[in-house]
Amino acid sequence: MPRLRPWLIVAAAVAVAVVVAGGYLLGASTAPDEHDAHAERVDAQRVAFKQGYAKGYDRGLESGRDAGAAAGGREGAPKGAEDGHATAQKTIKRALVVTKPSSPARQSGGGAASGPPLPGSGGVLVVGDSLEELTSPFLQKYLPQTQLTINAVGGYNSLQIYQLFQESYDPSQSVIVFDAGTNDNPAYPEILAGRLQAVAQQIGARCMVVPTIHGLSVNGVDSSGKNRVVRNFAASRPGTQTPDWANVVATHPELMQPDNLHPVPAGADYRARLIARGVKACLRGGSSSGAGFGE
């Protein structure tokens, strides 16, 4: 065995030490430190938070809905009952206040009364289209003591005017002016007939005022069919008043605007007077013939 030289042993020892130290330092330098661990924890936390949030949200939403529905019902029912009672009482009280002074007059009636007293408190509901928009400003002048409720929208047909009626009808009203049909297609008068019947069913023995119609002709069809509907309806329902606006237009063309559909102010005034006569006849319990008027 050859004898090892001392320098060779020292060199080997140094080499081993350098290699071990270098390897250790290299390994330690690439090992994850506290900062890496923190970043890893934060990343994992962020991803898990989203998953957990979605899961928790659904669960919370469901239990929140259950609790909310129960709470809403508990709060809404008593408040609705209280408000409904108060509103009804107000309506009833208003009806009684108006009825009391008017009852004796209706009973004595100046000889005009001819039918049973009308239900309601003497209020009048007026629903209609643009013609009624023009007419209604004059109505109060001819019906100064009457509580009028007017709901009219230009361009509305009888189906839409029926909706206005539903919005505004109140049992304290005694007379319903259903000023509709001008904007209906004259080829389908049965639409107007259906709405008149629907109103009549809802109002019971209350009186109706239904003016005859002067509308535009469509494809050669004029308003005759719609006016037949109005007259047949009046004939079948005693007490219904039919101010004959169509006849007024035919005999007084000067009351109309150039569009031959809407009245000029004097025409609107005239029309209001006609409708007011119908309303007064209703309130007097007047003519039950259903015959129209308007000359």
Scanning the chain, the segments in alpha helix (DSSP H) are 6-30, 34-108, 130-142, 158-168, 189-203, 224-236, 245-251, 265-283
CB of 196 closer than 8 Å to CB of 178: yes
Q: Contacting another protein (CB under 8 A), which of 42, 112, 216, 218? A: 42
Kindly identify the residues of this chain, within the stretch 89-148, that bind another protein according to CB under 8 A: 89, 92, 119
Which stretch, 18-26, 109-117, 130-138, 240-248, contacts another protein (CB under 8 A)? 18-26
Per-residue string for binding with another protein, 218-247, x by CB under 8 A? ------------------------------
Give me the least distance between CB of 89 and another protein, in Å please. Answer: 6
Angle at 174 between CA 170 and CA 240, to 5 degrees: 120
Beta carbon nearer to another protein, 207 or 281: 207
**If binding is defined by CB under 8 A, does position 52 make contact with another protein?**
yes
> What would the two tokens of residue 184 be?
């209906």
Give me the least distance between CB of 121 and another protein, in Å please. Answer: 11
User: Please, how many CA atoms are within 13 Å of residue 278, restricted to the half-sphere of its CB?
Assistant: 34
Give me the least distance between CB of 222 and another protein, in Å please. Answer: 34
Give me the least distance between CB of 37 and another protein, in Å please. Answer: 4
> What would the two tokens of residue 177 be?
């002016």
**If binding is defined by CB under 8 A, does position 190 make contact with another protein?**
no
Which stretch, 80-88, 143-151, 183-191, 280-288, contacts another protein (CB under 8 A)? 80-88
**Cβ–Cβ contacts within 10 Å for residue 87, how many?**
10
> What would the two tokens of residue 92 be?
């009833």
Measured between alpha carbons, how far is 208 from 230 in angstroms, rounded to an integer?
11
**If binding is defined by CB under 8 A, does position 253 make contact with another protein?**
no
Beta carbon nearer to another protein, 65 or 100: 65
> What would the two tokens of residue 241 be?
């008043």
**If binding is defined by CB under 8 A, does position 155 make contact with another protein?**
no
**Cβ–Cβ contacts within 10 Å for residue 82, how many?**
10
Measured between alpha carbons, how far is 115 from 105 in angstroms, rounded to an integer?
14
Give me the least distance between CB of 80 and another protein, in Å please. Answer: 3
Among 140, 149, 147, residue whose Cα is nearest residue 101: 147
User: Please, how many CA atoms are within 13 Å of residue 195, restricted to the half-sphere of its CB?
Assistant: 26
Which stretch, 56-64, 100-108, 135-143, 234-242, contacts another protein (CB under 8 A)? 56-64
Give me the least distance between CB of 28 and another protein, in Å please. Answer: 4
Q: What is the CA radius of gyration of the chain?
A: 43
**If binding is defined by CB under 8 A, does position 83 make contact with another protein?**
yes
**If binding is defined by CB under 8 A, does position 9 make contact with another protein?**
no
Kindly identify the residues of this chain, within the stretch 163-182, that bind another protein according to CB under 8 A: 166-167, 169-171
